[in-house]
């Protein structure tokens, strides 16, 4: 992913986001996920492995994006 693609993120990473990792990490991964989605749950273990491997070079940002068609109560 190029720096140009990151610059197009419609909502830049900020205080409202849930994040882990160094603010100046060279890699920032923004995940839009649904807490009730089994596929998002599976992806979580992959993200954890990437965090362990890259350490301070990786920043993880999670944005809750409920799939209302599957979870109307969200």
Task: Tell whether 50 is covered by a domain.
Answer: yes
Domain span holding position 57: 25-74
Prediction pTM value: 0.75
- List, for residues 35-62, the tens digit of each pLDDT value: 888 888 889 999 999 999 999 999 999 9
Task: Tell whether 64 is covered by a domain.
Answer: yes
Token pair, residue 45, equals 């273990």
Share the mean pLDDT of the chain.
Answer: 84
The answer to whether 61 and 31 are in contact (CB under 8 A) is yes
pLDDT at 71 over 60: no
Domains: count for the chain: 1
Name the phi and psi angles at 64, rounded to 5: -70, 120
Task: Tell whether 63 is covered by a domain.
Answer: yes
Task: Tell whether 16 is covered by a domain.
Answer: no
């Amino acid at each position: 992913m190029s720096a140009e693609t990151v610059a197009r993120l419609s909502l830049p990473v900020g205080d409202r986001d849930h994040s882990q990792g160094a603010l100046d990490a060279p890699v920032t991964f923004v995940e839009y996920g649904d807490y009730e989605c089994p596929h998002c749950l599976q992806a979580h273990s992959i993200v954890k492995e990437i965090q362990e491997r890259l350490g301070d070079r990786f920043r993880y940002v999670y944005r809750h994006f409920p799939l209302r068609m599957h979870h109307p109560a969200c």
